[in-house]
């Protein structure tokens, strides 16, 4: 660990000097890691050129910093407790030494299968320690991992594998989440049929699910591990060599593969975790995300291991076998630092308070949230009922693209306000922009588009295979700035409050989904002419999905039609993208240039259709009355 900030005064001083001399700050943060060779340049490149680099010339392997470095003093410390879906499944924990051994063995397996530095490996797995082992083994040999959330469909998995030309897929036979079995191997088989680059599929056994097998291509994890050596010399990487690709939805087209590199990502996730959560060596840190999202990459796998902490890998859901599961697990492992989503909090606060009271939560010191704005009611419930009124809440704002937390309180140091991500972390300089003048909005008590003014080590280095998209998405709207896609307020105290996306990206239960992706899926239905997706306020999910669509046939049975739409979206994207409501309309509100005016649809979906403002730019303003009078299913 580096040197921690310990007071608000110190935060302000460190922050100011970090902005005055960013390179010095980030050089200091990088000092405490094991480098084979220190960097030649701390930082180069710019947003304008889209060529940002950090610690270039530095040589390292991130897994040596996650694992080897801790063995002498902390080899017997638990790296991960594993909490299986079934609460009665026998206990399983891995010490740092054991995790190191497994990662080395699997790294040897990967190399024996011909995976080399720079090759892409797709990971589509259950939340067991093996997903971390597979991920770290890739990093150890310099292969670029691309984890695909195990809730995505065969088609989504295939799209991602094809986009990055992965040569191997690592999966499970199946996974059990709550009462639901997800046949991961069947889904993988369907995907791989369309992925000629895949040479091997490694299958880790987790269920009793019957699966098909293709000799020569498929191999069992346990067979390969049996004879693998537990000695493995980590491959030396340049700080700017790729570490992983993670796909995330944008406002247009297919999800984009965000590329993160070794050195900057390592320094960034490690130092942000330490500062924000204020962790100590004997803490037990639990982030309930899935490793398939950036939160899992940064703050389940890499961040906690870099800090030498004891973490928890949780396979189940907050509702299984009952809504007390999270609290039972906190109690079981004496969790000190607990990090979850506002959606989980909103869902659990609707349940009987007995589910909380049955468990001893006194071990908790710090609570965190991530992924979406948290409403005040949920914030207070979390603070009072889970934190017993005494634990700071860190509301952490960040993105897949940022690699790690950007705007967040530091636990116990930054005075918090419900609903506010509060202040930027050291080295991070946010600004608010005026959408019409493209100028920076100065002062306090203002609102605008959130941008970041200077590069930071954890930021995305590119969109895999699409430099044009990287530039146009992040660096074109406000030249010289990184554009986040979020709207934001800065209050009288200079505190930041994220108001939500300002582009066509939805945030449903903390999952990022592009309206265009869902529309394209729905358009595949043979009766649908055109679909328009908007978000609307949803009391648990934060945002719900509302689908307006025109159809070329009359729909006799809207309920069964809705089911067809659900099946289609589940098949093409994932069940998480199913519309909550569908409404069949005669026409969509379009401008003369053919653009759908989503603002109008958003207002109608939110039940605010009475005052729609100026609709005179519509080709046919009468469609609005028809839509307002219509009915959603």
Identity of the residue, 185 or 511, whose beta carbon is nearer to ligand 7RM in the bound complex: 511
Pick the closer one to ligand 7RM by CB: 60 or 289: 289
41's CB contacts (< 8 A; 6+ apart) are 53, 55, 56, 57
Q: How far is the CB of 161 from ligand 7RM (least distance, A)?
A: 20
Contacts of 162 (CB under 8 A, 6+ apart): 194, 195, 197
**Closest separation between CB of residue 38 and ligand 7RM, Å?**
30
* Minimum CB–partner distance for residue 499 and ligand 7RM (Å): 8
Min. distance of Cβ 246 from ligand 7RM in angstroms?
9
Shortest gap between Cβ of 341 and ligand 7RM (angstroms)? 8
Residue 211 or 498 having the CB closest to ligand 7RM: 498
Tokens 């010399």 correspond to 233
Helices 598-605, 622-629: axis angle to 10 degrees equals 20
CB closer to ligand 7RM, 35 vs 299:
299
Nearer to ligand 7RM, 295 or 310 (CB): 295
CA distance 469 to 255: 11
> Contact 130/204 with Cβ under 8 angstroms?
yes
CB of 428 to ligand 7RM, least distance (A): 14
Q: Which of 190, 180, 134 is nearest to 157 (CA)?
A: 190
The minimum distance between CB 288 and ligand 7RM, in angstroms, equals 13
Q: In terms of CB distance, is 142 or 514 closer to ligand 7RM? A: 514
Nearer to ligand 7RM, 96 or 379 (CB): 379
CA distance 413 to 625: 52
Of 103 and 348, nearer to ligand 7RM (C-beta) is 348
Q: Which is nearer to ligand 7RM, 156 or 172 (CB)?
A: 156
Residue closer to ligand 7RM (CB basis): 370 or 521 = 370
CA 201/CA 9 separation, integer angstroms: 53
DSSP code per residue over 189-200: HHHHTT-TT--E
Q: How far apart are CA 516 and CA 120, in angstroms?
A: 27
Binding site residues, ligand 7RM, CB under 6 A: 248, 293-295, 370-373, 395-400, 421, 484-486, 498, 501, 507, 512
Distance CA(51)–CA(521), nearest Å, equals: 34
How far apart are CB 407 and ligand 7RM at their closest, in Å? Answer: 8
* Helices H / strands E in the chain, number of each: 21, 31
Question: Which parts of 296-422 are beta strand (E)?
Answer: 310-314, 337-340, 366-370, 393-396
Cβ at position 320, least distance to ligand 7RM in Å: 23
286 or 398, CB closer to ligand 7RM?
A: 398
Smallest distance, Å, CB 134 to ligand 7RM?
21
Q: Which is nearest to 1 in space by CA: 285, 295, 268, 308?
A: 308
Distance CA(605)–CA(599), nearest Å, equals: 10
Q: Which residues neighbour 341 within 8 Å (Cβ) at sequence distance 6 or greater? A: 288, 289, 369, 370, 371, 372, 509, 510
5 and 11 Cβ atoms separated by less than 8 Å: yes
Q: In the complex, what is the shortest distance from the CB of residue 480 to ligand 7RM, in angstroms, rounded to a whole number?
A: 20
CB 382 within 8 A of CB 342: no
In the complex with ligand 7RM, the residue whose CB is nearer, 58 or 419, is 419
Pairing of strands 528-538, 542-551: antiparallel
| CA–CA distance, 52 with 625 (Å, rounded to integer) | 50
**278/280 Cα distance (integer angstroms):** 7
Using CA atoms, how far apart are residues 11 and 32, in angstroms rounded to an integer? 20
By the 8 A CB rule, do 573 and 521 touch? Answer: yes
Rounded least distance, CB 586 to ligand 7RM, Å: 33
**Closer residue to ligand 7RM (CB): 336 or 396:** 396
User: Can you give the C-alpha Rg of the chain in angstroms?
Assistant: 24
CA 22 to centroid of chain Cα atoms: 26
Q: In 324-459, where do the E strands start and end? A: 337-340, 366-370, 393-396, 430-433, 440-441, 446-452
**Residue 476 Cβ vs ligand 7RM, minimum distance, rounded to whole Å:** 17
Give the shortest CB-388-to-ligand 7RM separation in angstroms.
22
Q: Provide the token pair at 459.
A: 């930021």
Q: Are 84 and 126 in contact (CB under 8 A)?
A: no
Closer residue to ligand 7RM, CB minimum distance, 42 or 246: 246
DSSP-derived pairing of the beta strands 175-177 and 200-204: unpaired
Nearest distance in Å: CB 315, ligand 7RM? 21
Nearer Cβ to ligand 7RM (85/396): 396
At how many degrees (to 10) do helices 154-164 and 184-192 cross?
50
- For 89, residues 6+ apart whose C-beta sits below 8 A from its C-beta are none
């Amino acid at each position: 660990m580096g040197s921690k900030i310990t007071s608000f005064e110190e935060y302000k001083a460190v922050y100011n000097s970090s902005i005055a001399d960013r390179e010095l700050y980030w050089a200091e943060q990088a000092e405490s890691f094991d480098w084979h060779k220190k960097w030649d340049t701390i930082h180069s490149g710019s947003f304008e050129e889209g060529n940002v680099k950090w610690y270039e010339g530095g040589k390292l392997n991130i897994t040596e910093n996650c694992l080897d470095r801790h063995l002498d003093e902390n080899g017997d410390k638990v790296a991960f407790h594993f909490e299986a879906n079934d609460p009665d499944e026998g206990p399983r924990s891995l010490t740092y030494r054991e995790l190191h051994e497994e990662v080395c063995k699997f790294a040897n397996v990967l190399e024996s299968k011909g995976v080399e530095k720079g090759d892409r490996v797709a990971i589509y797995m259950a939340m067991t320690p093996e997903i971390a082992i597979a991920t770290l083994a890739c990093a150890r040999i310099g292969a670029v991992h691309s984890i695909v959330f195990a809730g995505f469909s065969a088609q989504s998995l295939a799209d991602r594998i094809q986009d990055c030309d992965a040569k191997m897929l690592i999966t499970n036979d199946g996974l059990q989440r709550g009462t639901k079995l997800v046949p991961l191997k069947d889904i993988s088989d369907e995907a791989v049929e369309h992925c000629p680059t895949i040479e091997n599929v490694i299958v880790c056994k987790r269920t009793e699910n019957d699966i098909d097998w293709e000799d020569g291509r498929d191999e069992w994890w346990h067979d390969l591990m049996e004879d693998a050596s537990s000695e493995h010399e980590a491959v030396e990487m340049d700080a700017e060599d790729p570490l992983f690709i993670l796909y995330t939805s944008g406002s247009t087209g297919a999800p984009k593969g965000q590329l993160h590199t070794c050195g900057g990502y390592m320094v960034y996730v490690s130092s942000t975790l330490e500062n924000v959560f204020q962790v100590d060596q004997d803490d037990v840190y639990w982030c309930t995300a899935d490793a398939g999202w950036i939160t899992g990459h940064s703050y389940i796998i890499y961040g906690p291991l870099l800090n030498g902490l004891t973490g928890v890998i949780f396979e189940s859901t907050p509702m299984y076998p009952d809504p007390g599961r999270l609290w039972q697990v906190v109690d079981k492992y004496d969790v000190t630092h607990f990090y979850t989503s506002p959606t989980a909090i909103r869902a659990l606060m609707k349940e009987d308070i007995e589910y909380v009271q049955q468990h001893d939560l006194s071990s908790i010191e710090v609570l965190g949230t991530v992924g979406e704005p948290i409403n005040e009611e949920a914030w207070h419930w979390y603070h009072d009922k889970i934190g017993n009124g005494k634990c700071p809440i860190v509301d952490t704002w960040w993105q897949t693209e940022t690699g790690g937390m950007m705007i967040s309180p530091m636990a116990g140091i930054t005075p918090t306000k419900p609903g506010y991500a509060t202040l930027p972390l050291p080295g991070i300089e946010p600004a608010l922009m005026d959408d019409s003048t493209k100028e920076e909005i100065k002062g306090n008590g203002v609102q605008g588009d959130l941008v970041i003014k200077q590069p930071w080590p954890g930021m995305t280095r590119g969109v895999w295979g699409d430099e044009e998209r990287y530039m146009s998405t992040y660096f074109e709207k406000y030249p010289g700035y990184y554009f986040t896609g979020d709207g934001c307020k800065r209050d009288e105290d200079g505190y930041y409050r994220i108001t939500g996306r300002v582009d066509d990206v939805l945030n449903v239960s903390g999952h990022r989904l592009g309206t265009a992706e869902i529309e394209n899926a729905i358009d595949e239905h043979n009766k649908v002419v055109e679909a328009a997706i908007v978000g609307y306020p949803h009391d648990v999910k934060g945002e719900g999905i509302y689908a307006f669509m025109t159809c070329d046939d009359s729909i006799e049975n809207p309920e069964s039609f809705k089911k067809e739409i659900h099946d289609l979206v589940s098949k093409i994207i994932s069940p998480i993208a199913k519309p909550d409501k569908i409404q069949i309309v005669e026409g969509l509100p379009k401008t003369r240039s053919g653009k759908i005016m989503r603002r109008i649809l958003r207002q109608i979906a939110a039940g605010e259709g009475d005052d729609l403002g100026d609709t005179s730019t519509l080709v046919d303003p009468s469609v609005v009355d028809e839509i307002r009078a219509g009915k959603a299913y």
